[in-house]
Structure 1
Amino acid sequence: MNILMLSWEYPPLLVGGLGRHVHALATTLAAAGHEVTVVTRHVPGALAEEYTEGVRVIRAPDDPAPGADMLNWALTFNHTLTRAALRACRTGRYDVVHAHDWLVAHAAVTLRDHLDVPLIATIHATESGRHQGWLPGQSNRAIDGIERWLCDAAVRVIVCSEYMKREVTRLFDVPADRSDVVFNGVDALRWRARPRAVEAARARYAGDGPLISFAGRLVYEKGVQNLLAAVPLLRERFPSLRVVVAGDGPYRKDLEENAPPGVTFAGFLGGHELTALMGASDCYVVPSIYEPFGMVALEAAAAGTPVAVAHTGGLAEIVDDGLTGVTFPPGDPEALATAVGSVLADRDHARSLALRARLRVVDDFNWPSIAGQTVAVYERARACDASQVSREAEKLLAAL
């Protein structure tokens, strides 16, 4: 199958989990024998076009954006993305267009019409969900409208959890039989850090006490403020406890100003640095208020680290409390401290949690399986699209 994939981030440009997801999906599909083209955003130092890891990657430079807000930037970005994709289409035919999130919606619909092929949309998160159901400004409401439009334009909608399936059904009236749950995948080998790297991270961050960590974009819905609120409670039991917050984002300044003693803000960590931090940690915490899936919890599990996660969204579907991790109610620092404390206080229990979690990652979330499920969605989309064309042709003939 020949697949045209659109994403606003792709290595070496990584902002969050979406770019890692698209990269892993594209390379796994290519390894399985499919032709994959990814059209994405340009990053300084990268080639405008290249074949890498079996994937043709087209990188579109940004157009000047009128204004600084995300919506204006996205609308202008879609123009340059469309032009780059149309140039790519001169040298091949495609069977499907696969769009990742609202940021590429306009380009995706244009290419669907230009190529006359089915459009599949993966909705990784929603604007409503990111704001706990509140759309405070005009830009938020516009993004919500673009998400609905993309779902309407797609033959099939992929979501990463049953939680997200319910959300797109409720928000955008997507029929349940037109959406498909395909979990995110994890390359378990990629998240196993070298022992020396783990030792170095431990020496750098842990000091004399237990180490807990978080990594992600620093925005309100990730719930880092609740982790920070739990730190004094944890330090009452574990006085030498250290906490590392890795990542960056608009909420970082507020978090740093309100951080208690024992917390280090490490900034964005990529590649081996993040893997080493996870491997060096005694517990990895995902305190999200809103989390469509929670891929980072599986990445930490793949690194061999016990996880404590908020019982919300997709996290509630991938972590079994007391079996593959521990859970706590979202937005509850006291419950977070109790859950993390139970891991830190019983190392044998922590090791058994980590072992069972890693085995589940290998069995249930491996990328070849996830890619195969995605191809099955593509096939359903093509079949639905062909049936729709046939019905429209029959209507036209009947009208003659």
Structure 2
Amino acid sequence: MTSILMLSWEYPPLLVGGLGRHVHALATTLAAAGHEVTVVTRHTPGTLREEYAEGVRIIRAPDDAPRFEVRDGDLLAWAMAFNHTLTRAALRAARTGSYDVVHAHDWLVAHAAVTVRDHLDIPLVATIHATESGRHQGWLPHAHNRTIDDIERWLAHEAVRTIVCSDYMRDEVRRLFDVPAARVDVVYNGVDELRWFARPRAVAAARRRFADSDGPLISFAGRLVYEKGVQHLLAAVPALREKHPGLRVVIAGDGPYRADLEALATEGVTFAGFLTGHHLTALMGASDCYVVPSIYEPFGMVALEAAAAGTPIAVADTGGLAEIVDDGVTGVKFTPGSPGALADAVHTVLSDRDFARRLARRGRLKVRDDFAWPGIAAATLDTYDRARHHDAGRVTREAESVLAQLTPLS
């Protein structure tokens, strides 16, 4: 049995993007396998400061009294304040238990993770879910962007092992941060297939709500930021509606780029806002094609979630998406940043119902065979074991060094 202390800036019911769902699934799967898991995260109104849920001990750190506004994407002041309260909560948790490893999820918990590692003298494992440089296509225009990049680099070097979600991200982390290849482990994100299978009644309701009775329905869900590429999906809508009269597009999600995207939208587009739970699964299940038009995508978990919902998927041929989708077998791919290529790929799915059914069937099977959470959790445990072995080796080497310097008694 391994005792794990996880640090994350989001955890259900507080969800901002895919990271919170990932941490929740990993934590509960490890707990179900008999390991002790404590997640320390931020408090949100209406939740308990501490509770046990689904076998996981959850400690939620309340904000400190001063308020730190987030302006123009600059999270640094808020993040530093959050790390103070997160550190205190994590160290309080350690009073009533001992841990074998601390697992940090992304740069927003880096300072707390390093402090906890040093205070408890346990190995630090870090998962870098995405990079600031990647999110901005290598352009770091502001001081806060460059600082986030530095924190990511620092976290990757402080961690005894770094987990990334794809071969693409492994190459990116090694290139950007000069982390030795031997210290980077690729562990894919997992998907709970059953969670994403919507009930027929809910699917029918979503179809009535969003679709035209005579036309196909395509959808997207995610945080509305530039790198998700929704602008290219919107640019493809007129061509798709010309080939498929009555076609409707639903954009689910929210984010800083929403107003700009709404200004680009043409007839047939609906912005549904942030959907959770069965509302999102029902939308996916009701769709004739689910589109992931990302410019930058470390993994692309939402594509697998849509596949688990039984929906044929069309994805940009980039990042982790290029690894997890087999073109023409489990989905179709298109050139990222090209509305024309996107429209052609979606048209291929919509114009051949038998082909679409084959894609959907094979996509669900791939999710079941390659991305089930028990296997992902087992791979993560292997990383913990390597981290503990490396840390024990470090302690032994340090002890031997001290002994070598002692003068034998005569």
TM-score range, shorter chain: over 0.9
Residue 108 of structure 1 pairs with residue 113 of structure 2: yes
2:308 aligned with 1:308: no
Is residue 225 of structure 2 the alignment partner of residue 203 of structure 1? no
Alignment-mate amino acid for residue 153 of structure 2: R
Match of 2:241 in 1: 235
Query: How far apart, in 1, do the equivalents of 2:14 and 2:156 lie?
Result: 26
Task: Check the 8 A contact 1:191/1:303 in 2, yes or no.
Answer: yes
Matched, 1:81 2:86: yes
Q: Which residue of 2 aligns with 1:39?
A: 40
Please name the residue that 1:225 is paired with: 231
- Equivalent positions of 1:239-250 (< 5 A) are 239-250=245-256
The residue aligned with 1:50 is 51
Counterpart amino acid of residue 348 in structure 1: D
SS in 2 for 1:248: coil
Residue equivalent to 2:378: 372
Cα distance in 1 between the residues matched to 2:154 and 2:400 = 27
Contact 1:39–1:57 (8 Å) recurs in 2: yes
Q: Deviations over 1:16-44 (max 9, x none)?
A: 00000000000000000000000001011
Shift of 1:257: 1.1
Output aligned runs, 1:93-242, within 5 Å: 93-208=98-213, 209-242=215-248
| 1:75-98 residue CA offsets vs partner (Å, 9 max, x unmatched) | 110000001111111000000000
Equivalent residues of 1:218, 1:251 under 8 A apart: yes
| TM-score, normalised with respect to structure 2 | 0.97
- Counterpart of 2:147, as a letter, is A
Distance across 1 between alignment mates of 2:405 and 2:270: 70
Q: Does residue 18 of the first structure (1) align with residue 32 of the second (2)? A: no
Of 326, 333, 339 in structure 1, the residue corresponding to residue 339 of structure 2 is 333
- Counterpart among 264, 287, 292 of residue 270 in structure 2: 264
Q: Partners in 2 of 1:297 and 1:180 — Cα distance?
A: 22
**One-letter amino acid matched to 2:359:** L
> 1: CA distance between counterparts of 2:267 and 2:93?
52
The amino acid across from 2:157 in the alignment is: D
1:8 aligns with 2:9: yes
The answer on whether the counterparts of 1:301 and 1:357 sit within 8 Å (CA) in structure 2 is yes
Name the SS for the 1:183 alignment partner. Answer: coil
- Cross-structure match for 1:346: 352
Q: Give the distance between the partners of 1:151 and 1:2, measured in 2 at CA.
A: 22
Instruction: Give the residue type in structure 1 aligned to 2:390.
Output: C
CA distance in 2, matches of 1:155, 1:103: 18
Please give the alpha-carbon distance, in whole angstroms, between the structure 2 residues aligned to 1:111 and 1:394. 26
Aligned mates of 1:58, 1:5 — CA distance in 2: 10
Deviations 1:101-127 (A, max 9, x none): 000000000000011000000000000
C-alpha separation between the residues in 2 aligned to 1:136 and 1:146?
16
Structure 1: distance between partners of 2:391 and 2:275: 42
Matched residue of 2:6: which SS?
strand
Q: Equivalents in 1 of 2:139, 2:6: separation in Å?
A: 30
**1:65 CA drift (Å):** 4.1
Deviations 1:185-231 (A, max 9, x none): 00000000000000000000011210000000000000000000000
* Corresponding residue of 2:395: 389
Partner SS for 2:212? coil
1:65–1:76 Cα contact (<8 Å) kept: no
Task: Identify unmatched segments of 5+ residues in structure 1.
Answer: none
Amino acid at match of 1:56: R
Asked if structure 2 preserves the Cα contact closer than 8 Å seen for 1:8 and 1:40, the reply is yes
For 1:292 and 1:65, the matched residues in 2 are separated by 32
Which residue number in structure 1 is paired with residue 286 of structure 2? 280
Q: Which moved more, 1:6-15 or 1:63-72?
A: 63-72
CA distance in 1, matches of 2:331, 2:362: 9
Offset from partner CA, 1:32-78 (integer Å, 9 cap, x none): 00000000010110000000000000000112244433111111100
Structure 1 range deviating more: 387-396 or 322-331: 387-396
Choose the corresponding residue for 2:365, options 354, 359, 362: 359
**1:394 Cα offset (Å):** 1.6
Matched-pair identity in %: 78
* Structure 1 contact 65–72 (Cα < 8 Å) conserved: no
Alignment gaps of 5+ in structure 2: none
Q: How many residues align?
A: 400
Q: Distance in 2 between matches of 1:230 and 1:393?
A: 64
Cα shift at 1:399: 2.5
Letter paired with 2:314: A
CA RMSD, Structure 1 to Structure 2 (Å): 0.7
CA distance in 2, matches of 1:286, 1:160: 17
